[in-house]
Structure 1
């Protein structure tokens, strides 16, 4: 159902954008879909085209313009907004640097982090690409990977096995000790989107001397709780 703001020109422009988002529109189709006078539909569509909010396809029909994508890209990432306070909480509760990883093809990317302020720490700069084939973050992202062919390929070079991933899914967290980097231990838990799919891994990492050889027993409950907090925020 079309909503009305009471500002006619805005409502008409939005009607044109909605129609063009649903399917490419010739001027005649815009008139039919929006029920606007032909002159009005033409005037507004051309104005929207000038501002990049509409464009034309190869047949000259109106489609959404590149400016729409640019505006959407400028919006804050909901995952990063939801994760920021949780990363700080996990860092403070665990006393170790916390990271958030997303899968990008065959790698995982650190998209957010909260660093331990003092003492020996493991720093993973935001934007860093790490392998999916080692580390607790890689295990979590692989454990719920839906691309079976990619997972099979990754397991041929991974530092963990399919049985390890079954254990990760069963208990809901992963740990690693000197798996990706000598002297470093880590623990990770999944972050789920509103639809229940795993969209990220919430992790802590630090020296083995401090985290120990079985860090999951100590830190997993906080990471699981943190992952659920992010999911809850994303789900509204």
Structure 2
């Protein structure tokens, strides 16, 4: 039994190490040890195994690790019919080309939103949206779209969460949700990042369930409120089309 527990603990630690790379592309042994709060010798043994199996690779010149080829081999076998991040990517690229701004796809994950896909704008000054980022639900267009179109019970659970900041009025937020549901999209202007704006619309699957939020974001200088509002009809239409592709 003890041996079994040790094996599970080793797997758990190895997975924690791999998850570090959702936040940064390359990491040193010291950085990884700090992230997972383990001794460097323990991390080194795990990294050696992961490297032998092809899940990470090490750059000899920098002594830093990055994800290995086995990760990409595994991702190649994900079913496009089941994974919205892969299924909707071509449509997101089309929307990016239509508006030439960064397009992101978010899902609810607990009491956060998770960016599962992003297509960056080709413009020199652009909104960079790293995949895998977790963001709070009380701020941002995509957060408001996800909360507004989730069920009433889910909304109440989110709004009553102890981590909800006192600086964000629940009453004012509920008022925003009613407006968002009425018009079908949400906007944010410098709510989370100074100089950044975004507009987001919900995506419903073929069964009518909320599947994700689709957003377009960029710098305020290029995307003032009037421009966001002009993008909303196209964004909602593309979100509707994408929803027709998700079985639920």
The TM-score normalised by the length of structure 1 is 0.64
- Residue 181 in 1 paired to residue 193 in 2? yes
Distance 2:228 2:120 in 1: 19
Cross-structure match for 1:87 = 92
Distance 1:156 1:215 in 2: 30
* Superposition CA RMSD, Å: 2.3
Tell me if the contact between 1:139 and 1:165 (Cα under 8 Å) persists in the aligned partners: yes
Cross-structure match for 1:151 = 158
Tell me if the contact between 2:106 and 2:113 (Cα under 8 Å) persists in the aligned partners: yes
Structure 1 counterpart of 2:118, from 113, 118, 122 = 113
String of CA shifts for 1:149-198, please: whole Å, max 9, x gaps. Answer: 32322595347610100111111000010011111000000001121121
Tell me if the contact between 1:173 and 1:187 (Cα under 8 Å) persists in the aligned partners: yes
Cross-structure match for 2:174 = 162
Tell me if the contact between 1:193 and 1:199 (Cα under 8 Å) persists in the aligned partners: yes
Distance 2:88 2:202 in 1: 12
Unaligned runs of 5+ in 1: 1-69
Tell me if the contact between 2:112 and 2:137 (Cα under 8 Å) persists in the aligned partners: yes
Question: What is the number of equivalent residue pairs in this alignment?
Answer: 165
Determine which structure has more spread, i.e. the larger CA radius of gyration.
1
String of CA shifts for 1:71-126, please: whole Å, max 9, x gaps. Answer: xx943433223311111111111110000001111111110111112310111111
Deviation of 1:218 after TM superposition, in Å, equals: 1.2
Unaligned runs of 5+ in 2: 1-73
Tell me if the contact between 2:185 and 2:199 (Cα under 8 Å) persists in the aligned partners: yes
Tell me if the contact between 1:87 and 1:98 (Cα under 8 Å) persists in the aligned partners: yes
Tell me if the contact between 2:104 and 2:119 (Cα under 8 Å) persists in the aligned partners: yes
Tell me if the contact between 2:147 and 2:155 (Cα under 8 Å) persists in the aligned partners: no
The TM-score normalised by the length of structure 2 is 0.61
Cross-structure match for 2:11 = none
Structure 2 counterpart of 1:229, from 227, 238, 241 = 241
- Residue 78 in 1 paired to residue 83 in 2? yes
